[in-house]
A and B are shown apart, each in its own frame.
Chain A
Amino acid sequence: MCGRRLWWLAVAWVAVMGATLLGSQPAIAQPTVQPTVQPTVQPTVQPTVQSVSPPDAACRLCHADSTETMTLPTGDVVHAGLDLGVLDASVHGASAAAPVYCTDCHGPRQRYQYPHATNPAQNLTQFQAEIAANCEQCHLSAEMHNPGHLQAAAGSAVPNCVDCHGGHDTAPVAAMQADPVGTCQRCHQQFDDPHVADVHAEVVANFGAGQSCQTCHASEPQSEDARCQSCHSLLTRQLTLPSGDTVDLHVNPEDIVNSMHGARVLQGVQYTTLRCTDCHREQGLWGFPHQPIDAVTRRQLTIGMQQVCQECHSDIFDRNADGVHAQHIVDGNLEAATCADCHGNHAIHDPNEPRERISQTCGNCHSEINAQYATSVHGAALLGEHNPDVPVCTDCHGVHNIPDPTTAAFRLSSPQMCGRCHADAALMSKYNISTDVFDTYVADFHGTTVTLFEHQSPDEETNKAVCYDCHGVHNILPVTDENSQVIKANLLVTCQQCHPDATTNFPDAWTSHFKPSLEHNPLVYFVNLFYMIVIPATVGGFLLFIATDIFRRIREWFGRRQRRKDA
């Protein structure tokens, strides 16, 4: 460079210094924009002094065609030259809302006075970082704009503004959004994976109102949940398993927050909302990109997930393991229900609220039985009147350790099951139902046999009728209903199920749960009455006569002894 030219540069520099010191100072105010809001360029430098020549005319003079280089202590090389066309085409160039001058970015000014002082940067990164720090004069601070990167592990190369947005060629935000991963991909090579890029593209494409890159990448500290949700709350795609089954990948985070697994106080203990990875914890599943899951079918996936429930609900899980559903799964019938089939997955709510929900839950798989139940005296009262007393599925079948209802043991204990309510005087009095039904059943041939079997050989089959053989199983009707299996008109047909040769009079052999009285079963009543009189009278007479005989023999014995003494 010639000496005259350098002189002019120095003069121009002083002029710029004076002008910008006066004009640009007030613009260095920190914005107070929320970090989730797409940062925009703040209304920046409004030059109050309109220079004849631009304040960076002097910089441009040398750096436009410079081939000079600066070698930093670590050996990194900084090129002094730049393509002014690129600068002018960038967002900071001619199209900027307000002019951006070289020293707005390259500061501090003192060091950039000519002749330039030695730059203290040890390497290119430090050199860029100093420049990037100046972005905050106009833009959101890095902490607020992109805190995610600042959370990167210490020692790793923390990217600065320039790394992503470029230097002299700073791209418009719209251009970056058009290729959202292009910038990131430079460091984050996983976006080289077309699948990852594809997923990311779908997430970006599904941005709702107010959502942007920052929705996912700026909230800090970014929890694992947030990481999961950042994709899964926006994904609409389905995962296709090897079998062709699909799994919907969309998860509404609100579902979990509002579920039983949301934050709540249980028995005095405050629980926080369950995190995604509390359940989805299999190795490789929650890291990103996810590794393929083992399940071939969706059913396998669902069944596999029940192990997760066991971690916290081990007591229920153990009971369930004894139940018919778990046993069926062990036996290879994968249709049988697992935890999530009844309880749901993300939106788990109280299974008993409202009470009708129980029969609906069971009805998802057992629809035919549920339809029968719905028309029964119990089901109709539940569904029609919200009756709190009638049994729902679980009252008879149990909850988790549901026994196989086709076993002898279930059959033999079933009268006790019905008796829990039907022998409860307080409960039955509300509905004017006799509690004699249980005692009269047990006193009868059928009930006696069943009760004895239950006591003595609970796993042995007996064909003696239990309650539901006559009254129906799920379709139990009131005994006043014209379709009831046990009303007089239908009883013979019911009896004939087991007694095929039975004729018209046969059903009366059953005392219809009435204790014998003058009104009901008078013949039985009179027979009982007869023996209640005859037995004590006869045996009493015998005993009386025997007593007199003993009395005489004692007298005779004493008499003989007296005579022997006398003799």
Chain B
Amino acid sequence: MHNAQPQYDRFNLFQRIEHGVLLVSFTVLAITGLPQMFSLQPWAVFMIAALGGIETVRIIHRAAAVLLIVGTIYHFVAVSYRIFVRRVAMTMLPGWQDVRDGLQALGYNVGLVKTPPRMGRYNFGEKIEYWAVIWGTVVMVLTGFMLWNPIATTTFLPGQFIPAAKAAHGGEALLAVLSIITWHFYNVHVKRFNRSMFTGKISHEEMEEEHALELEALTRRERSEPDPEGVQRRQRLFTPVAAVITTALLIGLYFFVTYEQTAITTVPRQQVDVFTPLTPESGRVQ
């Protein structure tokens, strides 16, 4: 389509794999989670049956949750590496410029402003999405932990936090899914199919429209590689620290998954003698 135009690198392979993991885990969580939230709607009953029953759905949901958390831990480490070791600019941090860009884009759309905003590596729309994912993941992991470990939770929090966590888990899930369907799907699939998360490349036209400042910087070659010596030095410190933190987080995840045996696995039964005739003769007639 735009083969003739120059292509620019946008996402490296690891970032694309990360996105793939997020895509898979999020989709599975949504598919197995929403039917649980609306469990008695006919469509939900159908989906739960199709997925193998509620207990199976719960197991799939929890497996996907573990995948999401592993991906999140990886993301945390990878971002830390880029920031602390490679000293990459924190282009995802939101600022007032993003608010202005958003308002300008809105004004431009309705015809009040003559020119569209010129935006950096991550524009306001992408930052909204990124931070929504961060916020959403934090909420979902925390509330998910509470629901997964209600006994552990209620040893230090009031019991009401459990149903509240369930409400928040569902509300946040609905918000996330609806946001993805509207904001994400429109911006990267409908408006124009943005293949950069799969190919790693972005077209010149897209760069001009969405990341004009980034394009400008690339053209000016403002981005310079960090000095290899400094990277090596910082890496020596980062590696053990990251290893410890990663280990701690993974232990936390293991704890998350296995900490408590919430309930017995047998069926509760009341024991009562069934045949207890009033007299040896009762229940007997001639």
CB-defined contacts of A528 to chain B, threshold 8 Å:
167, 171
C-alpha spacing A511/B150, complex, angstroms: 14
Instruction: Check A505/B155 contact, CB under 8 A, given A366-B276, A473-B272, A539-B178.
Output: yes
Taking chain A's interface residues, is the majority helix, strand, or loop, or is none over half, making it mixed? Answer: helix
Distance between B40 CB and nearest chain A CB, rounded to angstroms: 6
- Interface range on chain A: under 10, 10 to 19, 20 to 34, or 35 or more? 35 or more
Residues B284 and A302 in contact, CB atoms below 8 Å apart: yes
Q: Residues of B within 8 Å of A, CB-based: how many? A: 64
Contact with A along B250-276 (1 / 0, CB 8 A): 000000000011111111111011111
Contact with B along A292-318 (1 / 0, CB 8 A): 000000110110000000000000000
Residues A551 and B159 in contact, CB atoms below 8 Å apart: no
Cβ-defined partner of B158 (8 Å) among A445, A505, A539: A505
Residues A555 and B286 in contact, CB atoms below 8 Å apart: no
Residues A535 and B174 in contact, CB atoms below 8 Å apart: yes
Residues A538 and B175 in contact, CB atoms below 8 Å apart: yes
Cβ-defined partner of B109 (8 Å) among A456, A462, A552: A552
Interface hits, B52-87 → A, CB 8 Å? 53-55
Distance between B280 CB and nearest chain A CB, rounded to angstroms: 11
Residues A448 and B179 in contact, CB atoms below 8 Å apart: no
C-alpha spacing A341/B283, complex, angstroms: 5
Instruction: Check A365/B276 contact, CB under 8 A, given A505-B155, A539-B178.
Output: yes
Residues A455 and B45 in contact, CB atoms below 8 Å apart: yes
Distance between B10 CB and nearest chain A CB, rounded to angstroms: 21
Contact with B along A466-479 (1 / 0, CB 8 A): 00110011100000
Residues B154 and A506 in contact, CB atoms below 8 Å apart: yes
Q: Does residue B48 face the partner (Cβ distance < 8 Å to A)?
A: yes
C-alpha spacing A363/B282, complex, angstroms: 9
Cβ-defined partner of A341 (8 Å) among B109, B179, B284: B284
Interface-centre pick from A299, A335, A498, A505 (highest chain B CB count, 10 A) = A505
Residues B277 and A365 in contact, CB atoms below 8 Å apart: yes
CB-defined contacts of A65 to chain B, threshold 8 Å:
none
CB-defined contacts of B266 to chain A, threshold 8 Å:
463
Contact with B along A334-361 (1 / 0, CB 8 A): 0101001100110000000000000000
Residues B159 and A546 in contact, CB atoms below 8 Å apart: no
Residue of chain A at shortest CB distance from B155: A503
Residues B276 and A524 in contact, CB atoms below 8 Å apart: no
Number of residue pairs spanning A and B whose beta carbons lie under 8 angstroms apart: 200
CB-defined contacts of A500 to chain B, threshold 8 Å:
264
CB-defined contacts of A453 to chain B, threshold 8 Å:
53-54
Cβ-defined partner of A462 (8 Å) among B111, B191, B267: B267
CB-defined contacts of A503 to chain B, threshold 8 Å:
151, 154-155
Instruction: Check A542/B182 contact, CB under 8 A, given A364-B278, A448-B39, A535-B174.
Output: yes
Interface-centre pick from A363, A509, A534 (highest chain B CB count, 10 A) = A509
Residues A456 and B48 in contact, CB atoms below 8 Å apart: yes
Q: Does residue A501 face the partner (Cβ distance < 8 Å to B)?
A: yes
Instruction: Determine, out of A45-53, A132-140, A166-174, A367-375, the stretch whose residues face the partner at the interface.
Output: A367-375
Additional A-B contact list (17), CB under 8 Å, known A465-B268, A511-B163: A302-B284, A335-B283, A365-B282, A367-B276, A369-B274, A448-B40, A456-B54, A463-B265, A501-B261, A508-B154, A509-B160, A509-B161, A523-B160, A538-B178, A538-B179, A539-B179, A551-B110
Chain A interface (Cβ < 8 Å from any Cβ of B): 247-248, 298-299, 301-302, 335, 337, 340-341, 344-345, 363-369, 372, 406, 411, 442, 445, 448-449, 451-453, 455-457, 460-463, 465, 468-469, 472-474, 497-511, 516, 521, 523-524, 527-528, 530-531, 534-535, 538-539, 542-543, 545-546, 548-549, 551-553, 555
For the complex of A and B, the 4 pairs showing the least CB-CB separation, nearest first, are A508-B159, A531-B171, A509-B162, A548-B109
26 A-B pairs, CB-CB below 8 angstroms? A248-B286, A302-B284, A341-B284, A344-B285, A364-B277, A367-B277, A368-B276, A369-B272, A448-B36, A456-B53, A463-B268, A498-B264, A499-B264, A501-B261, A504-B154, A507-B159, A510-B159, A516-B163, A521-B164, A527-B167, A527-B168, A530-B171, A535-B174, A538-B175, A549-B105, A552-B108
